[in-house]
Amino acid sequence: RRHVKSAIHHSSYPLPPGPRGLPFIGKVIGVNTHAPWLMYAEWAKQYGDLIYTRILGRDIIIINSEAVAKDLLDNRSRNYSDRPFLATKSLCGRDFSTIFMEYGDKWRLHRRFFHQTFRSEAVHRFVPLQHRKACQLLRGLLDSPHRFSEHIFEYTTSIILNGVYDHDTKTQTDELVDIVAKTLKIISFALRPDISILVGAFPALLKLPSWFPGMSFKRDMAIAKELSKQYIEKPFQYSLQKLSAGSSAPCMVFDALRNVEEKGTSSDAGWMKDLSETAATGLIAASDTSNSVITLFLLMMVVNPKAQKTAQAQIDSVVGGNRMPMIKDRSSLPYVDAILRETLRYSPVVPLSIPHAVVDDDIYGGFRIPKGAIVTSNLWSMAHNESKYPKPHEFVPERFLNDDGTLKPDDTENIAYGFGRRICAGRHFADTSLWSVIAKILAVFTIEHAKDENGVEIPVEPKFSSGVAIHPLPFPCSIVPRIQGMNVEKLEQLIEASTA
């Protein structure tokens, strides 16, 4: 009875404002599908920070401000921590993933695995690994600077392969790095909520052959599904073998198994499967996102030489030229952190975060939020809030600094990593990794405009791909050593002098 009463009570509230009555297909296809976050930011000017719309029969709530996101996703997290059904999820073999899993006990177990290994107090164990791999990245940049994208991808994938499985990539063509790259290309498109809604609303679309215009993604999804079997099983088995051979490096698989052994709790087949799936989720979630941030950092350095010089001057005065900046120097290098924060803010990697879903009908600010609605946090809008970040389209690291050059309290965690109980499970690992790489690149190289055959600078304009996680589109740049006479031997000496 109480339930009926509350349903009546709820239905007497209006839905939040938002565009209604557009031709349904227009909302999915005709409007800005390349960068829907820009379109939602425009809608906010007309409708406010909490928007309701309906696309192909699905209720959608769009949150454009941090305050509303905190009220709902943080403070009412029990009701806003589910994930919506995505029709493309099983098609591309992502049923196992923590990221898209519904809220419940299985998800809690996955989060526990992440927490054990990647919580803030535990990630310091990975600092030496991140340092070693960042040095490898520097070697790559010195050897073949024009292949910077490959070197960055290799860095971000190899640190997570170690962090999850204790798998050390030895060659530039590691099979797993390759599998991850192929998978990421496909799922970033297939898992976009709009694509997924379209497929869910018109399952007949999937009956069209793969050669039909626009349907190649069907074939790609089948490939992604096949690949997922490989990267769930292969590295996991490898990891178990390493453990039985006595390896004791920190990593997710070992931490979980040791914890079970110490506590004497059960690790049956179902539990092992969950562990292998959590590990595979980490692998996919980590590399693409961090890769995008490091690439954007390079791009921002090309177009903001003044910020780059300021950071390098600080590194030189604090660290000197005989060793590289290490995590122990972090508190003395506030400008490097300001650059990292500004890179995360300038263009959030996951601009619409990962959608949450509403468990039960709710009332907020006099509006009804319907049960089952897809909740999209427009992190891009929040990061471009003019009253919090004046001139939001400019790259201004100083916005994060006090007048005396010290850092202000960090307010970028949510705009980069999301909200509530579903906040990114790898953010602390990502943070130390990104800092380590950015500080070292700044210490050793200058990133500048590439020049054409006449010696004229090639102009660069920041442009981004589309998808769940977005990337700067390829851009030319020149990565040149800052240190006089830098060569392989000198770099090795510098690395030698820098211990993690």
Considering only 52, 148, 189, 419, the residue that binds ligand HEM (CB under 6 A) is: 419
Q: 3-state DSSP call for residue 470?
A: coil
Q: Is 291 in the site for ligand HEM (CB under 6 A)?
A: no
Answer for the pair 47, 75: CB distance below 8 angstroms, yes or no. no
* Local structure of 386: helix, strand or coil: coil
For position 253 contacting ligand HEM by CB under 6 A, the verdict is no
Determine the interface stretch with ligand HEM among 23-31, 268-276, 418-426, 487-495 (rule: CB under 6 A). 418-426
* DSSP per-residue letters across 65-110: -HHHHIIIIITTGGGS-B----THHHHTT-TT-STTPPSSHHHHHH
Q: What count of other Cβ atoms lies within 10 Å of the Cβ of residue 20? A: 9
The only residue of 84, 282, 325, 397 in contact with ligand HEM, by rule CB under 6 A: 282
Q: Between 319 and 438, whose beta carbon lies closer to ligand HEM?
A: 438
Task: Note whether 200 binds ligand HEM by CB under 6 A.
Answer: no
Stretch that binds ligand HEM, among 28-36, 328-336, 422-430, 446-454 (CB under 6 A): 422-430
User: Could you tell me how many helices (H) and strands (E) the chain has, helices first?
Assistant: 19, 8
**281 in contact with ligand HEM (CB under 6 A):** yes
Which H or E element spans position 128?
A: helix 127-143
The token duo for 196 is: 């997924």
The 145-164 contact track toward ligand HEM, x by CB under 6 A, reads ---------------x----
What's the rounded Cα separation, in Å, for the pair 144 and 321? 23
Tell me the backbone φ, ψ of residue 330, rounded to 5 degrees.
Answer: -55, -45
Smallest gap, in angstroms, from Cβ of residue 383 to ligand HEM?
11
Q: Which is nearer to ligand HEM, 243 or 416 (CB)?
A: 416
Write down the least CB distance from residue 83 to ligand HEM, Å.
7
Our finding on whether 198 is near ligand HEM (CB under 6 A) is no
Q: If binding is defined by CB under 6 A, does position 417 make contact with ligand HEM?
A: yes
Residue closer to ligand HEM (CB basis): 287 or 498: 287
Task: For the CB of residue 460, give the shortest distance to ligand HEM in the complex, in Å.
Answer: 22
430 binds ligand HEM (CB under 6 A): yes
Give the type of residue at 230. Answer: Q
Q: Return the residue of 15, 62, 87, 99 that touches ligand HEM, per CB under 6 A.
A: 99
Q: Please pick, from the candidates 190, 350, 374, 443, the single residue that binds ligand HEM as defined by CB under 6 A.
A: 350
* Complete DSSP assignment for 345-368: HHS-SSTT-S-EE-SS-EEETTEE
Residue 380, interface with ligand HEM (CB under 6 A)? no
Instruction: Please report the sign of the dihedral spanned by the C-alpha atoms of residue 102, residue 104, residue 106, residue 111.
Output: positive
Regarding 425 and contact with ligand HEM (CB under 6 A), the answer is yes
**Is there binding between residue 135 and ligand HEM (CB under 6 A)?**
no
Q: Does 424 bind ligand HEM (CB under 6 A)?
A: yes
Q: Kindly state the number of chain residues that form the binding site for ligand HEM, as judged by CB under 6 A.
A: 29
Contact, 182 vs 164, CB < 8 A? no
Q: In this chain, which of 429, 435, 445, 475 binds ligand HEM, going by CB under 6 A?
A: 429
SS (H, E, C) 240-286: HHHHHCCCCCCCHHHHHHHHHHHHCCCCCHHHHHHHHHHHHHHHHHH
Q: Does 193 bind ligand HEM (CB under 6 A)?
A: no
Which of 205, 423, 460, 500 touches ligand HEM (CB under 6 A)?
423
Backbone angles phi, psi at 151, to 5 degrees: -65, -40
Rank residues 137 and 430 by Cβ distance to ligand HEM and give the closer one: 430
349 binds ligand HEM (CB under 6 A): yes
Would you say 72 and 375 are in contact if contact means Cβ atoms under 8 Å apart?
yes
In degrees, rounded to 5, the angle at the alpha carbon of residue 69 between the alpha carbons of residues 336 and 109 is 85
Give the helix/strand (H/E) hosting 374.
strand 374-377
> Binding to ligand HEM by residue 72, rule CB under 6 A?
no
Shortest separation between residue 353's beta carbon and ligand HEM, angstroms:
4
Closest to ligand HEM by CB, 379 or 494: 379
79 touching ligand HEM, by CB under 6 A: no
347 forms part of the interface with ligand HEM (CB under 6 A): no
* In the complex, residue closest to ligand HEM by CB: 426
Given a contact cutoff of 8 angstroms between Cβ atoms, the answer to whether 59 and 374 are in contact is yes
**Site stretch for ligand HEM (CB under 6 A), options 180-188, 190-198, 364-372, 417-425:** 417-425
Q: Beta strand 356-357 with 58-63: parallel, antiparallel or unpaired?
A: unpaired
Query: Is 424 within any annotated ligand binding site?
Result: yes
| Euclidean distance between CA atoms 72 and 7, whole angstroms | 20
- The CB-of-407 to ligand HEM minimum distance in angstroms stands at 19
Burial class of 447 by CB neighbour count within 10 A (0 to 12, 13 to 18, 19+) = buried
Give strand pairing partners of 472: 464
Residue 286 binds to ligand HEM (criterion: CB under 6 A): yes
Q: Say how far apart CA 203 and CA 453 lie, in whole Å.
A: 52
Using rule CB under 6 A, residue 118 touches ligand HEM? yes
- Helices 334-346, 305-319: axis angle to 10 degrees equals 150
Residue 279 or 491 having the CB closest to ligand HEM: 279
Cβ contact 380:348 at 8 Å: yes
Q: ∠151-148-353 over CA atoms, to 5°?
A: 80
**What residue ranges bind ligand HEM (CB under 6 A)?**
98-99, 111, 114, 118, 160, 281-282, 285-286, 289-290, 293, 349-350, 353-354, 356, 416-419, 422-426, 429-430
- Residue ranges for the known binding site for heme are 424
